[in-house]
Structure 1
Amino acid sequence: MSIPATFHPDPALASCILSYGIAEVAESTVAPFFSPPIGLSAFIIQHQSSTGTVVAFVQGHPMQVNQAIATGQLTSAITGYYTGKVKTLLIFFHPLGMHQLFGLDMHKLTNTSMNLLVLLGKEKGKYLLNRLEKTEDNLSLVYILNDFFKNQISVLNDTTGIRKVLDFIHLHQGNVSIKEIEEHCYVHRKSIERHFLYQVGLSPKIYTSIYRFKCLMNYLQQHPNTSWLQLSSITGYYDQSHMVRYFKEYLKVAPKELVTLDTELINYLLSRS
């Protein structure tokens, strides 16, 4: 699968939406894809011009694949393939973004998907999809998405506390314990876990593990000649075997087998942060 073209959201949406991606697969193409957990939720919309099909699995179970879906946080990889001509719009949300905009209990979307017409309501969902299908120009599609999400912005539950926790995790590249989060953010463990599940969709422990692995992969992309032993030390793992465990959990391969994967697409997805 080709690397999606990346577009930035309107500045007014920057606290909720990280980026847009538009990926295209040509006619008569069978393109496999593999996405590890990336610590984000997303909307995935197949443009009206698509004539092919998309098949996806998570934890061995087929994901709901409609013209437009919302996906929550993942704890394991998505695998699948595109067949034929497909144009896909990807909206990557800040870890709190989908909850902020739509008030969802994000834990209910973890490792699964929801038809966008159910999430948005038929009237609002069809309005968005009808506008998108009237153009194939990428900049016009981004304009329509920006316009839609800006009109969606509303005051929801206060997310200040969890945003502070996320900022602390990101600052330390995922190398923090729950105890350190408690002490720095002045909040009790049970409160953190309850609000994290509701607003982000994962426990803080799992989210920090995923984020640390994202930082590892981003470091490896920038420093490809780093040895595995050096990499494990630099990125905060106890030792090399500890790091290998997360390669196998999130990428389904050992580090030495990384070359068998489409690392270009994987690096693109893991760089969304």
Structure 2
Amino acid sequence: MNIITLFPPPDLDEYVTGILIIESKTFSADFILPLYANGCPTLVFQTALGKRSGSDTGYLNLYGQTIQPETLMIRQPFTLIAFFMRPHIVQSLFGVSALELTDSYLDLSDIKPIKDTGLIDRLLAQPLINERLEILNGFIRWLAKQADDFNPKVLFALQYLKTNIHTGALSTLQTELNISERSLQRLFENNVGISPKMYKRISQFDRAFKQLTDGKFNSLTELAYSNGFADQSHYIRVFKEFTGITPKEYINISKPFNPKF
């Protein structure tokens, strides 16, 4: 199995945080990719159909925000290319409600612009990963040219909550933006698909998750405190909420599917 992580081309950095490529040329057992909360919607192309939540996925899917842990299962050799998108791009780029996609996904095969351009057929017909990447990069560039401008309040709020994990962060953010709690709630639900409180929790979890995956910690207690959790027990509860397993169980079964963007 070949696993590659890439940064996007510079002109797509506004829309994409990173790219994950998984290539499996042989089949010996079902491939199961865990899907955990990371604050990013994801555009996923795969050369073989898979199953998520017991339903068949298409070849090109748009995943919304993930809260509940989920898996993608593929039962034959495949290549998978996942574009991890910025949290606020779903409505602007794809014209889809971010809230409706939360804990769900959209098979893009029936979307008119994709059918008209033969995008999926071109991706399936092209055997080279680099060429597939160029096709997908071109698709995102095409979407970006037609996209509405992003709400500056959303951009500020996302960056603020990504870097501020203190308990009063949401109240401070309301003051910074000069908006009410309800307005901040609507701003996030409409543009990100989750509440600002949930986004803050996911950002906190994801930061600790990346440290755990990279092995950059001396103890779970240290990891918990350095990421703003009350104690180790609090961190374990949150970790299990978003993954379904404990940190120690994750370490024992961990596979290198988590990109280090």
Per the TM superposition, whether the score is higher than 0.5 is yes
Partner deviation per Cα, 1:212-266 (whole Å, 9 max, x = no partner): 011112223445452122221111011222111111101212233233332422x
Change (3 A) 1:208 1:120: farther
Aligned-residue offset at 1:33: 2.2
Change (3 A) 1:168 1:63: farther
- What is the alpha-carbon distance in structure 1 between the residues aligned to residue 23 and residue 245 of structure 2? 27
More displaced stretch, 114-123 vs 134-143:
114-123
Alignment pair present for 1:237 and 2:229: yes
- What is the alpha-carbon distance in structure 2 between the residues aligned to residue 3 and residue 169 of structure 1? 34
- What is the alpha-carbon distance in structure 2 between the residues aligned to residue 42 and residue 157 of structure 1? 20
Helix, strand or coil for the counterpart of 2:118? helix
Tell me the equivalent position of 2:129.
Answer: 138
| Structure 1 segment 1-273 matched on structure 2, within 5 A | 2=1, 4-30=3-29, 31-47=31-47, 50=48, 53-57=49-53, 62-119=54-111, 121=113, 123-124=115-116, 127-153=118-144, 154-156=146-148, 158-172=150-164, 177-265=169-257, 267-268=258-259, 271-272=260-261
- What is the alpha-carbon distance in structure 1 between the residues aligned to residue 66 and residue 28 of structure 2? 27
More displaced stretch, 236-245 vs 178-187:
178-187
Say whether the 8 Å CA contact 1:174–1:211 is kept in structure 2: no
Say whether the 8 Å CA contact 2:162–2:203 is kept in structure 1: yes
Say whether the 8 Å CA contact 2:51–2:73 is kept in structure 1: yes
Partner amino acid, structure 2, of 1:129: I
- What is the alpha-carbon distance in structure 1 between the residues aligned to residue 85 and residue 55 of structure 2? 19
- What is the alpha-carbon distance in structure 2 between the residues aligned to residue 222 and residue 134 of structure 1? 36
- What is the alpha-carbon distance in structure 1 between the residues aligned to residue 2 and residue 175 of structure 2? 41
Counting aligned pairs with the same residue, the percent is: 21
Say whether the 8 Å CA contact 1:220–1:226 is kept in structure 2: no
Change (3 A) 1:210 1:175: farther
- What is the alpha-carbon distance in structure 1 between the residues aligned to residue 55 and residue 134 of structure 2? 29
Partner deviation per Cα, 1:131-185 (whole Å, 9 max, x = no partner): 2223221211111112222122224254211110001011225865321221233
Change (3 A) 1:174 1:218: farther
Partner deviation per Cα, 1:82-108 (whole Å, 9 max, x = no partner): 222111121211101232212321001
Structure 2 regions of 5+ residues with no counterpart?
none
Change (3 A) 1:196 1:155: same
Structure 1 regions of 5+ residues with no counterpart?
none
Partner amino acid, structure 2, of 1:148: F
Partner amino acid, structure 1, of 2:140: F
Say whether the 8 Å CA contact 2:109–2:120 is kept in structure 1: no
Say whether the 8 Å CA contact 2:50–2:75 is kept in structure 1: yes
Say whether the 8 Å CA contact 1:28–1:85 is kept in structure 2: yes
Helix, strand or coil for the counterpart of 2:256? helix
Helix, strand or coil for the counterpart of 2:103? coil
Aligned-residue offset at 1:121: 4.2
Partner amino acid, structure 1, of 2:211: Y
- What is the alpha-carbon distance in structure 1 between the residues aligned to residue 205 and residue 22 of structure 2? 24
- What is the alpha-carbon distance in structure 1 between the residues aligned to residue 217 and residue 170 of structure 2? 33
Partner amino acid, structure 1, of 2:192: V
Say whether the 8 Å CA contact 1:247–1:253 is kept in structure 2: yes
- What is the alpha-carbon distance in structure 1 between the residues aligned to residue 214 and residue 61 of structure 2? 33
Partner deviation per Cα, 1:59-95 (whole Å, 9 max, x = no partner): xxx2441122111001111124322211112121110
- What is the alpha-carbon distance in structure 2 between the residues aligned to residue 63 and residue 207 of structure 1? 27
Aligned-residue offset at 1:4: 3.4
